[in-house]
Structures are given as structure tokens and as C-alpha cells.
Amino acid sequence: MASSSSSSSSFSLIAFFLLLLLPECRCRTVKRDVKALNEIKASLGWRVVYAWVGDDPCGDGALPPWSGVTCSRQGDYRVVTELEVYAVSIVGPFPLAVTNLLDLTKLDLHNNKLTGPIPPQIGRLKRLKILNLRWNKLQDVIPSEIGELKRLTHLYLSFNNFKGEIPVELANLSELRYLYLHDNRLSGKVPPELGNLKNLRHLYDLFLCVDVSDNHLSGTIRDIIHNGEGFPALRNLYLNNNQLTGELPDQISNLTNLEILYVSYNKMSGQVTPKIVEIPRLTYLYLDHNAFTGKLPDGLYKHPFLKELYIEDNQFKPGTKQKGTHKTIELSDTEFLF
């Protein structure tokens, strides 16, 4: 019995070492993803991506994965899950072949020279969580099909040439945390339905920042905040440099998590509601370059958190003063890094 047990142990040990000597099993990359990325690679505007060597974007033998391409294993195959190729001066239209990368969770092509529209086929990327196309030359309307990307948490389309209205379908993005649309040519009203994005929390968790500044948007604050019933966890609201009209309504106080309210350079008028004092953590309030009248609520000057209150170029009563040393808020490039 002892001899049999010893032989069995020896056999197991030999088998273990033989397994160590066997070559590592390498999964193949799905043909769909290989074909899609090779089509992109062959495009004249993508010749600047010198690090894309070989035919397999996930790497093949001695060749590493292509720069900016992240792959994951699914069963016996590899699929492309992330494509990050930014700040390399890619020129030409948005690559339609990208929409065949059906397992993408992150697409980051920011700070290039992409032109033309975002194709409606973008709605095929059902697993996408991050879409970053800022700092390009994209144009036409924002496709409503983006609203089909139900897992999307980050949407960066700022610093392009998009026109038309903000698609109401963005309100379908129940997981959305960050929405940046500023510095485009958008017009019309901000859809109040965006205020229905209730699955949101605080900064560094599930924080929603809405920035639609520097467009040609019209309407009123009341329209945007859905009579105070929307954006329950909104922290930063940038509406500056648009064509908003009307007053600052009482319902603004329902945005109890608000810290920054930036409505400079619009056509707003009327008195500033005293309810604004009830926003507990309001820190920066920019009302300058509008047509506000009357007197500011006294409580703003005693507000425990308010650091800056800027009121230049309005029609306030004499003696109305600003608070703090005003520094124009600029959204720097680093704010989009994650």
C-alpha cells in the first residue's frame, strides 16, 4: 500500500512539472474586433498612431497590444474593452468601425482633430460607460442614439462644433454622473427631463456636474430645474454665456447640494429670490452681466459657506456689494482626467 501511494505521489509531481513546461495557452482575439481596428489603422488620418504594430490589436506572440488598446478575456477569446487614443492629432471623420467594438466600456479620443458627425451607430455600444470626445472638431447634432447607452456614466462632448438642441434622450442615461456639453453651438432649451436623473450621489461617488455653458441656449432657470423637482444631488451648475431669460426662482433652493451656480452673461432679470440663502453649502455664486434688479438678500453676506458673490453689470440698488475676490472659473483640461 505504501509503495502504491509513493508511486501515485511521484506521478502527480511529474505531471505538475510537465504542465509548467507546456507553452502558455493564448486566446485568439475575436475577428470582429481585429477587423474593426485594422480598418481604423488603415485610415489615412490614423497613420500618426505609430505604435500599432502587427495585425492583432490585443498582441500576438512577441508583439504587445497596440498602444491605447485594452483587451479582456471572454471564454476562449479576447475582446477589446477600452480604446484610448488621445492628443495625437488624428484627423478625419469619426471612425465608423469603432461602433463594431461591441464590448467597449471606454472610448476616449479627446484632443484630436476629428470632424463630421458622431454616427447614429454609436448606440450599438451598449456596454460603454465612458465616452470622451472633447477637444475635437465634431459637428452636426448630438445623436439621440447616445441615449441608448444605458450604462454610460461619463459623457464629455465639450469643445466641439455641435449644433441644434440637447437631445431629450440623454435623460434615459440613468447612470450618468458627469455631463459636459460646454463650448459648442447648441441652441434651444435645456431639457427639463435631465432633472429626472435621480440615481446620483456626491462628488467622488456618483456626483453629477452639468455644464452647458458657452452655447446659445435659451429658456429660464425654472425650465431647467424642472420647478425644483430635478437634479436632487446636483453640485455644480454652469449656465454662463447663454441667452437665458427670466428670474432666479424660489425653486433654486431645492438644489440643496449645490455649491457652484454660474449664470453670468445671460439675459436674466428680476430680483434674486431670498430663498437662495437656504442652499446650505452654496460657495460660489456668479450673477454678473445680467439685468437683475432690487437688493440682494442680506443673508448672502452672512452665509457660512459663500466665498464669492459676483454681481457686476446688473441693475441692483446702489450699495449692493460683491463678496470675496472674484476669480473667473475656468474648466481646465485636468478636470476631465480620471
State how far the Cα of 119 lies from the Cα of 230, in Å rounded to an integer.
Answer: 30
DSSP 210-269: EE--SSEEESBHHHHTGGGTS-TT--EEE--SS--BS-B-GGGGG-TT--EEE--SS--E
| Residue-level pLDDT at 326 | 59
CA dihedral 268→272→275→280, nearest 10 degrees, is 80
In total, the chain counts a number of residues equal to 338
Is the pLDDT at 46 greater than 60? The verdict is: yes
| Residue-level pLDDT at 154 | 92
Q: What is the pLDDT of residues 254-299, one digit of tens each?
A: 999 899 999 999 999 999 999 999 999 999 999 999 999 999 999 9
Task: Select from 234, 193, 241 the least CA-distant residue to 218.
Answer: 241
| Residue-level pLDDT at 192 | 83
Given a contact cutoff of 8 angstroms between Cβ atoms, the answer to whether 320 and 311 are in contact is: yes
- The residues pairing with 163 across neighbouring beta strands, listed in sequence order, are 141, 185
| Residue 139's pLDDT band (cuts 50, 70, 90) | very high
| Residue 109's pLDDT band (cuts 50, 70, 90) | very high
| Residue-level pLDDT at 52 | 95
Q: What is the pLDDT of residues 304-337, one digit of tens each?
A: 999 999 999 999 999 888 887 755 554 444 343 3
Within 8 A by CB and 6+ apart from 69, the residues are 37, 57, 58, 80, 82, 83
The average confidence (pLDDT) of the chain is 85
| Residue-level pLDDT at 193 | 84
Q: What is the pLDDT of residues 241-265, one digit of tens each?
A: 999 999 999 999 999 989 999 999 9
Is the pLDDT at 204 greater than 60? The verdict is: no
Cell representation of residue 219: 429658456
Given a contact cutoff of 8 angstroms between Cβ atoms, the answer to whether 313 and 289 are in contact is: yes
Residue type, 233: A
Instruction: Provide, rounded to the nearest whole percent, the portion of the chain with pLDDT above 90.
Output: 65
70-74, 153-157, 187-191: which has the minimum mean pLDDT?
187-191
Report which secondary-structure segment, H or E, holds 77.
Answer: strand 77-84
Instruction: Provide, rounded to the nearest whole percent, the portion of the chain with pLDDT above 70.
Output: 83
| Residue-level pLDDT at 177 | 85
Is the pLDDT at 211 greater than 70? The verdict is: no
Higher pLDDT, 228 or 24: 228
Q: What is the pLDDT of residues 165-198, one digit of tens each?
A: 999 999 999 999 888 898 999 998 888 888 787 6
Residue type, 258: L
